[in-house]
């Protein structure tokens, strides 16, 4: 086992210089093949930091989706518009991690502005799934997922607006946490859809996600939507009993579901039963309206959030926006404009409330809901790019969870017949990350899907 195969707690026991050395060796092997990095921090810089690292995460290497502001280091959001943009301040999440001694080694490839589920809609070249380089890594936090799968970092900070942490985590065999809206500060995270964006950890295990979450969660004076809710010691509660936990299951989810996804999901359900948990039948009748709903609200907010990229104070000219982003800007502008606002945006917000109620009703009957993450195995590169509707449908199981602000933990739960990773998600009540991580951790104590890694 290499150093980076280990948990964060174990990695910390190694001299930071050795850890960094291994990171960069892995980068040598994998980076060009997978195109995971947009900005790679030079080895000398990381090695220097390793020498003087102090704090609870001292010397632990991490990467961030390139949507986070990091002083004096370029932040591009995956778009040519910011290809030369040097961050002028630190994102709160970044500040917290480097204060804890963690070492940033790269800013990672992503679908530009978060617009996509495959990291193909990037202006820095498509990212490739290390499990099969002809296939997509998922998105929009594809780069971070690849970095973890190829053992070039110990953890990553992704960003999830409609599935962007969970989707690539599932397709690259990682554990990704979409937090409750407001759990982690969004200050310094380039906004896609302000009422949906969440900042979250990605790692090999739920245990590692828990450790990172402890350091990044909490109220921030610079983010008015960040929550005052107490931050539990997530990593200390992972072994509390999960017997008597009830998991919700809806058979509707299996209807028309690709068997490659359904099989591992059903097996996971069985595993939960073996661990002593109960299964309760629940219903999610509105799910089929999720994609259209998401694709009215998210583009509406993005059409406004992207207005600041006007070439006046920074960034390139607006002709550098690419088709997927232009599409979303236009849809959003249309949905908000005179004569259409009531029929689209306003109505969508009302339906959003129905979804919130729907999930609440389901969660009244169970502690967490088991759901698939992606409806398919990772497509071939190029397959989704000229099928915008298929691209949207990738968010079928993930998007509405953002609309309701709920947390969800994505876990590896098996492989397809072609040895491609399959993931599942556990969706809980707001601020129930502690429960989700606990269930995930104990699931991972009795399974080893998450330990698999792609062959070079």
Active site residue: 6, 12, 49, 65, which one?
Answer: 65
- Out of 17, 195, 246, 283, point to the residue binding another protein (CB under 8 A): 195
Instruction: Tell me if 48 sits within 8 A of 59, measured CB to CB.
Output: no
- Binding status of residue 345 toward another protein by CB under 8 A: yes
Q: What is the DSSP string of 346-369?
A: IHHHHHHHHHHHHHHHHHTS-SEE
- Out of 233, 337, 357, 365, point to the residue binding another protein (CB under 8 A): 337
Instruction: Decide if 65 is catalytic.
Output: yes
- Binding status of residue 191 toward another protein by CB under 8 A: yes
- Out of 301, 367, 433, 434, point to the residue binding another protein (CB under 8 A): 301
- Out of 30, 37, 62, 187, point to the residue binding another protein (CB under 8 A): 187
- Out of 36, 38, 41, 91, point to the residue binding another protein (CB under 8 A): 91
- Binding status of residue 313 toward another protein by CB under 8 A: yes
Strands (E) located in 219-317: 246-249, 278-281
Tell whether omega for the bond before 140 is within 30 degrees of 0, i.e. cis.
Answer: yes
Binding pattern for the stretch 250-289 against another protein, x by CB under 8 A and - elsewhere: ----------------------------------------
Q: Select the span of 102-110, 191-199, 371-379, 394-402 touching another protein (CB under 8 A).
A: 191-199
- Binding status of residue 151 toward another protein by CB under 8 A: no
- The DSSP letter of residue 82 is G
Residue with tokens 């500040």: 95
SS3 51: helix
Q: Which is nearer to another protein, 313 or 455 (CB)?
A: 313
CA nearest neighbour of 112 among 263, 290, 306: 306
Instruction: Find the farthest-apart pair of alpha carbons in the chain and give their distance in angstroms, rounded.
Output: 63
Instruction: Decide if 164 is catalytic.
Output: yes
Instruction: Report d(CA 328, CA 135) in Å as an integer.
Output: 24
Number of residues that bind another protein (CB under 8 A): 42
User: In sequence order, which residues have a C-beta less than 8 Å from that of residue 52 and are 6 or more positions away?
Assistant: none
- Binding status of residue 190 toward another protein by CB under 8 A: yes
- Out of 194, 246, 316, 429, point to the residue binding another protein (CB under 8 A): 194
Report the interhelical angle of 433-445 vs 259-274 (nearest 10°): 90
Instruction: Decide if 455 is catalytic.
Output: no
Instruction: Tell me if 138 sits within 8 A of 145, measured CB to CB.
Output: yes
Instruction: Tell me if 272 sits within 8 A of 279, measured CB to CB.
Output: yes
Q: By the criterion CB under 8 A, which residues form the site for another protein?
A: 67-69, 75, 77, 82, 85, 88-89, 91, 186-191, 193-195, 221-225, 300-301, 304, 306-310, 312-314, 333, 336-339, 341, 345
């Amino acid at each position: 086992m290499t150093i980076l195969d280990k948990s964060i707690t174990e990695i910390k026991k190694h001299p930071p210089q050795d850890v960094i050395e291994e990171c960069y060796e892995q980068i040598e092997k994998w980076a060009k093949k997978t195109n995971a990095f947009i900005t790679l921090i030079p080895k000398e810089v990381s090695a220097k930091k390793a020498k003087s690292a102090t704090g609870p995460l001292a010397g632990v290497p991490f990467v961030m989706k390139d949507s986070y502001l990091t002083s004096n280091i370029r932040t591009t959001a995956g778009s040519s518009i910011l290809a030369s943009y040097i961050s002028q301040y630190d994102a709160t999440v970044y500040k917290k991690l480097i204060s804890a001694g963690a070492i940033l080694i790269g800013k990672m490839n992503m679908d530009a502005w978060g617009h996509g589920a495959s990291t193909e809609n990037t202006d820095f070249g498509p990212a490739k799934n290390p499990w099969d380089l002809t296939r997509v890594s998922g998105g929009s936090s594809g780069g971070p997922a690849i970095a973890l799968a190829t053992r070039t970092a110990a953890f990553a900070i992704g960003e999830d607006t409609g599935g962007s942490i969970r989707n690539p985590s599932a397709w690259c065999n990682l554990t990704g946490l979409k937090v409750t809206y407001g759990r982690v500060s969004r200050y310094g995270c380039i906004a896609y859809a302000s009422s949906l964006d969440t900042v979250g950890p990605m790692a090999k295990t739920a245990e590692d996600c828990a450790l990172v979450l402890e350091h990044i969660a909490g109220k921030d004076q610079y983010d008015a939507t960040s929550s005052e809710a107490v931050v539990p010691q997530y990593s200390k509660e992972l072994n509390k009993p999960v017997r008597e936990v009830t998991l919700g299951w809806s058979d509707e989810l299996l209807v028309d579901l690709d068997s490659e996804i359904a099989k591992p999901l059903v097996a996971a359900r069985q595993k939960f039963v073996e661990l002593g948990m109960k299964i309760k039948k629940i219903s999610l009748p509105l799910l089929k309206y999720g994609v259209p709903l998401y694709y009215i609200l998210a583009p509406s907010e993005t059409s406004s959030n992207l207005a600041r990229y006007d070439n006046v104070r920074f960034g390139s000219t607006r002709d550098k926006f690419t088709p997927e982003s232009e599409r979303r800007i236009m849809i959003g502008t249309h949905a908000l404009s005179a004569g259409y606002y009531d029929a689209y945006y306003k109505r969508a917000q009302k339906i959003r409330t129905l979804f919130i109620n729907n999930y609440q009703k389901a969660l009244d009957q169970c502690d967490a809901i088991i759901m698939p993450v992606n409806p398919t195995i990772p497509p071939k590169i190029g397959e989704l790019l000229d099928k915008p509707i298929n691209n949207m449908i990738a968010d079928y199981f993930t998007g509405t969870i953002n609309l309701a602000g709920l947390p969800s933990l994505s876990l590896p739960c098996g492989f397809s017949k072609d040895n491609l990773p399959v993931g599942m998600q556990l969706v809980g009540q707001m601020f129930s990350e502690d429960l989700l991580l606990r269930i995930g951790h104990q699931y991972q104590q009795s399974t080893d899907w998450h330990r698999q890694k792609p062959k070079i």
